[in-house]
Structure 1
Amino acid sequence: MHVVVNAAVSADGKLSSRRREQLAISGADDFARVDQVRAASDAIVVGVGTVLADDPHLTVKDEDLREQRREDGRPPNPARVVVDSNGRTPTDAEILDDEAATYVCLSEAAPVDRRADLADRAELITAGDERVDLLRAFAALREAGLERIMVEGGGELIFSLFEAGLVDELRTFVGPNVIGGRDAPTLADGEGFVADFPTLDLESVDRLDDGVLLTWRVDER
């Protein structure tokens, strides 16, 4: 399995404002790049916080890219995955429509009624007691044939994936704006590291729109 984290952040490293409202940090060129990464993926993963804040659809936008996937013998859109320990994903969320297969990763703590509601709309993966055990959940995704994984946020999930040692590659578009705010989400929130910090090898730097795209590989040394 190869896990790529893709994110757009402000010049000061914020994913959005303290109101956690979706912001357009990048532009048309980066949107097209993201669509290409989606089209090359077997699954797109987000945390439930992203679903609640943005209600993303997580489908490939370009019809030519969808058609290429069909010609390759794949469904037009990659599978969608929500990491949702307590089953908070709304049953009318865009991510649960029939445009692509959807998996919801739950913990044992998710209420039975929420499981029943979601089971009508998605494939459920249960891993972990109080929180989703990401190692077990991603192993289940791999068993389902999902090898190339794109992660689109948010900061809590991205931190947890780094903590679990599951990230292979980080692609970050850095935009030309400053958002600020101690409560604004960053690329990797969560508890944060105090030792054994993950380190990255910079693979490429590319100007894009009015910002820069940084591509990193996780240093496995």
Structure 2
Amino acid sequence: MHVVVNAAASADGKLSSRRREQIAISGEADFERVDRLRANSDAVVVGVGTVLADDPHLTVKDESLCNERLERGEPKQPARVVVDSKGRTPTDAAVLDDAAATYVCLSEAAPVDTRLELADRAELVTAGDERVDLLRAFAALESAGLKQIMVEGGGELIFSLFEAGLVDELRTFVGPKVIGGRDAPTLADGEGFVEAFPQLRLERLERLDEGALLCWTVEH
């Protein structure tokens, strides 16, 4: 499995404001880049916080990219994955529609009635007691044929993936905004590292829109 974390952050490293509302950080060129990255992935992954805040569809928008997937013998859309320890994904969430296959990763703490409701709309992956065990969950996804993984956030999930040693690449668009706020989400939230910090190697830096795209590989 190859895991690429992709995010757009403000110049001060925030994913959105303290209200956790979606903010346009990047422009058209970056939207096209993200769409192609989705099209080249087997699955697009987000945490439940992103689902609750933004209700994303997580599909490839460019029909020509969808056709390229079909020509490669792949499904028209990559699968969508929600990491949701307690089963908080709304049953009417856009990510649960029939545009693409969807997997919801739960822990044993998710209520039984919630599992039954979600099972009507998605494939369920259960791993971990109180929180999703990401190593086990991603191993199950890989067994299902999902090998090229794109992670779109949010900060809690991204930190947890780094903590689990699952991230292979980090691609960050840094946009021309300062958002500020001690409670605003950052690229990697969670508890934070105090030692054994993940080390990155810069592979590419380019100007894009009015910001910069930084592409890193993670040194394992």
> Under a length normalisation based on structure 1, what TM-score does the superposition of the two structures give?
0.99
Q: After superposition, where does 1:175-194 map in structure 2 within 5 Å?
A: 175-194=175-194
Any idea what SS the aligned residue of 2:153 has? coil
1:174, distance to aligned residue in structure 2 (A): 0.1
1:219, distance to aligned residue in structure 2 (A): 1.2
**Distance in 1 of aligned mates of 2:84 and 2:177:** 31
Offset from partner CA, 1:97-129 (integer Å, 9 cap, x none) = 000000000000000010000000000000000
Which residue does the alignment assign to 1:27?
27
Which residue does the alignment assign to 1:129?
129
**Distance in 2 of aligned mates of 1:38 and 1:206:** 20
**Distance in 1 of aligned mates of 2:86 and 2:218:** 30
1:86, distance to aligned residue in structure 2 (A): 0.5
**Distance in 1 of aligned mates of 2:61 and 2:131:** 32
**Distance in 2 of aligned mates of 1:174 and 1:76:** 30
**Distance in 2 of aligned mates of 1:196 and 1:68:** 41
Structure 1 runs, 4 residues or longer, greater than 2 Å off: none
Which residue does the alignment assign to 2:158?
158
Percent identity between the two aligned chains? 80
Answer yes or no: is 1:108 the counterpart of 2:108. Answer: yes
Answer yes or no: is 1:213 the counterpart of 2:213. Answer: yes
Paired amino acid for 1:206: E
**Distance in 1 of aligned mates of 2:203 and 2:68:** 27
RMSD: 0.3
1:207, distance to aligned residue in structure 2 (A): 0.3
**Distance in 2 of aligned mates of 1:35 and 1:169:** 17
Which residue does the alignment assign to 1:95?
95
Offset from partner CA, 1:59-97 (integer Å, 9 cap, x none) = 000000001101111111100000000000000000000
**Distance in 2 of aligned mates of 1:63 and 1:24:** 23
**Distance in 2 of aligned mates of 1:100 and 1:86:** 23
Paired amino acid for 2:10: S
Which residue does the alignment assign to 2:41?
41
Which residue does the alignment assign to 1:143?
143
> Under a length normalisation based on structure 2, what TM-score does the superposition of the two structures give?
1.00
1:203, distance to aligned residue in structure 2 (A): 0.3
Tell me which moved more, 68-77 or 177-186.
Answer: 68-77
Query: Unaligned 5+ residue runs, structure 1?
Result: none
Any idea what SS the aligned residue of 1:85 has? coil
**Distance in 2 of aligned mates of 1:48 and 1:212:** 28
Which residue does the alignment assign to 2:170?
170
**Distance in 1 of aligned mates of 2:155 and 2:37:** 19
